[in-house]
Amino acid sequence: MKRRAVLFAGAAVAASATAVALKPRRRASKDFAPIQLEQQVPAGFGPWTIDKSLVPVLPDPSLQAALDQIYGQVLARTYINRSNGQRVMLSIAYGEDQGTDATAAHRPEFCYTAQGFSVASMGTAVLGLDGRNLTVRRLVGQLQARREPITYWVTLNDRAVLPGFSRKVEQIRLGLLGQIPDGMLVRVSSLTAEPSAAFSLQEGFLNDLLAAMPPELQSRYFGSRTA
């Protein structure tokens, strides 16, 4: 009996030591140029300029305090196309520690629901953005007469992933390398009754935004270029 207890204690110590050894310790954000949302996301590009008359959906106050612990920077803007008056809302949340599941609270599925929206999934889509095959999730939020098609994705370091299983696999992979990944959630939306037209508008907006960013920042916001 004593021998079994000794073996059990030894196994517990070994498991604990392994867990400590595998615990991510190095912040990957130090391997990249610092993220500065307000300075790096252009206020005007292509036909787009900031429109202050329409504010993107933001978390309610009860959720905001928790999100402040997760994300160090949040950007919320509305852009208007000077040539045709179409609008796109952009929201980006960035944090240096994206190694846990805590950031799920800011996903539109939860953020919009907390504001009283009903949210329907429209599945995933692959956007061809200047050599990148960016996989995104699409939703439609509805609050009374307001209908808001939404496109979003998340990043870990310089890779774009879908939230959920794909993100968890990438978190584990980076954790085994000893990294604490940084990352962001990028969301665009627009107000229209026709989702397909909204998604087409959003894809064009994202292509214009990508083209306006310097190459060294593109992978941080949109993921690495695919071969």
Give pLDDT, residue 215.
92
More confident residue, 61 or 40: 40
In this prediction, residues 57-71 reach a mean pLDDT of 65
pTM of the model: 0.82
Single-letter amino acid code for the residue at 158: D
Radius of gyration of the chain (CA): 20
Residues 6 or more apart in contact with residue 133 via CB below 8 angstroms: 126, 127, 226
- Give the side-chain half-sphere CA count within 13 A for 185: 27
Binned at pLDDT 50, 70 and 90, residue 141 comes out as very high
Question: Tens digits of per-residue pLDDT, 145-160?
Answer: 999 999 999 998 888 9
Average pLDDT over residues 51-59: 76
pLDDT number for residue 24: 61
Res. 31: pLDDT tops 90: no
Domains in the chain: boundaries: 26-222
Q: Kindly state the tokens that stand for 36.
A: 């500065």
Give the DSSP letter of residue 103: G
DSSP 60-76: -HHHHHHHHHH-SEEEE
- The predicted-structure confidence for 80-103, as pLDDT tens digits, reads as follows 999 999 999 999 999 888 776 665
CA distances from 105 to 7, 44, 87, 114, 192 (A): 42, 30, 26, 10, 25
Specify the CATH number for 26-222; select among 1.10.10, 1.10.20, 3.40.1000, 3.40.50. Answer: 3.40.1000
End-to-end CA, the chain: 60
| Distance of alpha carbon 217 from alpha carbon 158, whole angstroms | 9
179, β-bridge pairs: 26
Question: Is it the case that residue 7 has pLDDT exceeding 50?
Answer: no
* Residue carrying the six token digits 């007469």: 145
Confidence of residue 13 (pLDDT cuts 50, 70, 90): very low
Q: Is the CB of residue 181 less than 8 Å from the CB of residue 167?
A: no
Of 102 and 167, more confident: 167
- Give the residue-averaged pLDDT of 119-143: 94
